[in-house]
Structures are given as structure tokens and as C-alpha cells.
Amino acid sequence: MTEIIYADNAATTKLDLEAYEAMKPFLLNDYSNPSQPYSFSRRAKKAMKEAREIIAECINAEPDEICFTSGGTESDNWAIKGCAFSLGNKKNIVTSNIEHHAVIRSCEFLKTFGYRTIYLKANKNGIILPETLNNEISENTGIVSVMLANNEIGTIQPIKELAKIAHKKGALFHTDAVQAMGHIPIDVKNLDVDLLSASAHKFNGPKGIGFLYVKNGSKLLSYINGGMQENGLRAGTENIASIVGMAYALKRNVEELTKNINYIRELDTEMVTQLKKANIDFIRNGIEPHLPGNISLSFKGISGEMLLHRLDLMGIMVSTGSACDSTKTQISHVLKAINIHQDYIEGTIRISLSKENTMEDVNCIVSGLTKIILQSDKKSKNYSKYHLAKNMLLP
Ligand code: PLP
């Protein structure tokens, strides 16, 4: 395979090599079902227990508060639907207009069952202000769900303040931490959230595995019914190898968090500085606090789709909206929500850098972008010159 520059780490990340090595024995030799009582299952059972402890320690939770799931989408669905169905008459849900579709569509699904959702409006910087929640929450609110960090523009929300407001009204608080986990420090006790979703493939773990943190004592209905796995809350034979890989990857990322944040911030700053120097007309979406390396840029009078494909031809992978929307040319709900100026909105791309990227990658991305944008500028100027000349010949 030819070398590529992968700058779409918010869509997914590269599997950590040591996490992969740690997974192997559970795919090949220790393949037993951990629910079985015989000795052959001991290693799998022990590995799962240790993985739960490692993950709990990474976010300052208790091991029995970690429930393994198939990823971020399942965790979000379970948190929203599982809470809603266990909360009796409290049929109002409060979320935001910049959530991932896993949250938004779970809320829409609940409409059929008589639930009502209020969507808090993010401000133009992509932040859900605590006073916005204060104005919309009521005694009928059962659950409030606001993401920790946005996948498209990287803004980090004031979760601690939002959770405090939710609790004051007697509502549960869920946060989708899929983009934030392994990239910024997360302490569930300090944030005081009741539920938190995470997905391994966003922090160098394998795909198809994640977890839902459920604070002890929280009301949550079982979502997948069957056997007694995960304390009877989530049935199904556990994906041991992936659980082990997830714990390993999270531990590695958390141990190297400060180093990675500083390094990625350097790349982030350099990219934006170089683009500014190149005299290109663009805006960066979202403000600090910000996920390091999540760079959403809107270029004036350019098509984001065109940028994505031209960069792809140069071997550079970026995204236009969130990955699950990349087959559609529609402008994403997040970009609409933050009211990007008409002249810029269609020219939006997301570059998401990771610890795997280098300064050389940054230089290549900037030079690729500059080339494409200046060429397309020239073309549109030639086009208008041609039209001007043609029009002058007219009577
Ligand atoms: N929530 C957010 C914020 C995400 O960015 C994603 C994935 O892009 C998800 C949820 C869904 O996670 P998964 O891909 O593990 O289902």
C-alpha cells in the first residue's frame, strides 16, 4: 500500500500494536466462554475482571460501574432508552442540537412512546451554556444528555455545571464521551455524571467494543435481554479479546495523556498558523476549550466535498462532516447549528490529528490545501474574465 497521511482520527484511530498483542491469546488459545465454570475459562474471566478494573481506574469509577457494550452507538442508545423507560412519568428528555445521531435518533425513537425531547441550542462557538439548560429543564425532565466533546468541531462542553443543574431538578445526566475518552482527562466523580458513553476505536482500541459507565444506584433498564452477563444488564457472550484490547489502549492513552495533548496541540497550532500565513480565506469553527487536533475549517467559496476528493488524490484523508454522513452532501446539523456564514459553510472540512501524525504531515496537508484552493481561485477568476469578455461582445 502506498503511504497515506491519515488525518481523520475523529472517525477512527489506528489500533495500538501492544493492545493488538494483548488481544491475540484470547482469539487463538484462551477462547473459552467466560461464563463457564471450568478451569479453562479462568484466564478469560480474570482478563475481563482486570480490564474492567483498568478502565474504571482510568476514569475514577468503580469496576462494577463499567458495562461493556458494542461501542458508542449502543452505549448512547442504552443510556437514553434505558433511562427513559425506567423513569416512570418523567417523560421529558433534554439534549442538544449538536449531539451525535446515536443520541438524537434515540430521542426521536422515544417520541412513539410519548416522550418529548427539548434540543438545547449551542451558541455560535458550539457551546451549550448552563443558562440554556436552566431555562429549559423542568420537574418533568427525566434525563439530560449533552456530549463531552463534539465530534465535528471539537468543542468541550461545561459538563460539570450542566450535570449540577440536571441533578438540582432531580434528572439523571448522561454524557457522550466517545470523542473525548483517551484524549482529555476524564474523572466521572469530578464531573458528577450518572452515565457516560465511550468507544474503543476512538482511542486506539479495536472496533465494535465500548462501554457505558453507570453510576452505582442509577436507574437503568436492561437493554439487551438474554443471559446474566454484565450483572444481568447487558446479555450476550462477552467479546473478551476486544475488551482486553480496549482496556490496554485506554491505559496507554491515559498514561501518555499530557505528552500526547502537548504534542498534538503543537501540530494543531502549526497547521492553523501556516494556513493563516498562506493568505487563504477561512474560519476555524469552535473555540477553546477544544479537543486537541480536531480542526474544523470552513473555506470561503469552496466545496468541502471537492477538497476532500482532491486531498484524497494526494493521499491525504480528511472528512467533510461526521464520518457516518460522508456519503451525503448535505450540510451537517452541527455546522447548521453554529450558524456558519453562507459563504463558508459548504467549504467545511474536518482535519483530525493524532499522536501518529507528524510535523511533516502538517506541512503536506497545508501545502495540498493551499495548492487546491489557489488553483480553484484562479479557475473561478478566469471563468469570470471569460464571461466579462463574452458579455462585452453582446450588443
Ligand atoms: N458519539 C460520538 C460523539 C461519535 O463521534 C461517535 C462516532 O463517530 C459515536 C457516538 C458512535 O460510536 P461508534 O462508532 O462506536 O458506534
pLDDT score recorded for residue 390:
46
- Residue 167 one-letter amino acid: H
Q: Determine if ligand 1 sits within 6 Å of the CB of residue 199.
A: yes
Q: Whose CA is nearest to atom 13 of ligand 1?
A: 72
- Among the residue ranges 143-157, 278-292, 378-392, the one predicted with the least confidence is 378-392
For residue 196, pLDDT beyond 50: yes
Question: How far is Cα of residue 266 from the mean position of the Cα atoms in its chain?
Answer: 21
Q: Whose CA is nearest to atom 9 of ligand 1?
A: 72
Res. 23 pLDDT band, cuts 50 70 90 = very high
Task: Looking at 12-124, list the stretches that DSSP marks H as alpha helix, in order from N- to C-terminal side.
Answer: 17-28, 42-58, 72-86, 101-110
Ligand 1 atom, smallest distance to 151 CA:
5
For residue 383, pLDDT beyond 50: no
Q: Determine if ligand 1 sits within 6 Å of the CB of residue 117.
A: no
Across-strand partners of 157? Answer: none
Residue 278 · residue 366 · CB < 8 Å: yes
For residue 252, pLDDT beyond 70: yes
**pLDDT, tens only, 324-366:** 445 556 889 999 999 999 999 999 999 999 999 999 999 999 9
What spacing in Å lies between the alpha carbon of 177 and ligand 1's midpoint? 9
Among 179, 181, 242, 350, residue to substitute to test ligand 1 (most atoms within 8 Å of Cβ): 179
Pick the closest to residue 365 from 327, 310, 326, 322 (CA basis): 310
Q: Which residues are catalytic?
A: 324
* Cell digits of residue 34: 467466560
Q: What is the rounded average pLDDT of the residues 186-190?
A: 98
pLDDT score recorded for residue 323:
45
For residue 393, pLDDT beyond 50: no
Q: Determine if ligand 1 sits within 6 Å of the CB of residue 8.
A: no
Residue 71 · residue 209 · CB < 8 Å: yes
